[in-house]
Amino acid sequence: MAGTSNAPHPTQPHLEPAPTGHPAYTETLPCTPESALAARRLIRQALGAWALDDLADDACLVAVEMVANACRHTRSPVIRVSVTRLDGTTVEIAVTDRSRVLPARKPAAPDALDGRGLLLVEAIAARWGADPKRWGKRVWAEVRAA
């Protein structure tokens, strides 16, 4: 068929009300480093819809670090990425996986190529944490406008 592309189409994130009643976008992704790109797309789409584009760079950096940590430290086949608008200046970025091991910031060797992800999240986010679940955990960070 002429003019037809076999290229995969990006999935459309799911918009749903969060349990707290706040608007949220969520997407279930494979637990692979390549999912960082989809997480960035999700964050930018949500922030654009909420006219919070100024938060996009920081929120995307936080999301990419949390996706990378989940991929590195869990054997989950999938992760769930969500962005929730908490108010007019704050969003929560969350990554959920099936590992019960909570994240812990550890000192990185000066010449190490990795190991600074949570330090970066801590520097950018207004606050962050991890909520243990019966089946895994949910790691979250709040990003606020200056």
Higher pLDDT, 115 or 145: 145
* From 4-18, 41-55, 98-112, the region with the lowest mean pLDDT: 4-18
H or E, element range at 41:
helix 35-49
Distance CA(104)–CA(90), nearest Å, equals 24
Domains of the chain: 26-106+115-144 (3.30.565.10)
Beta strands in the chain (DSSP E): 14-17, 23-30, 78-85, 90-97, 127-133, 136-144
Q: What is the pLDDT of residue 12?
A: 56
pTM of the model: 0.82
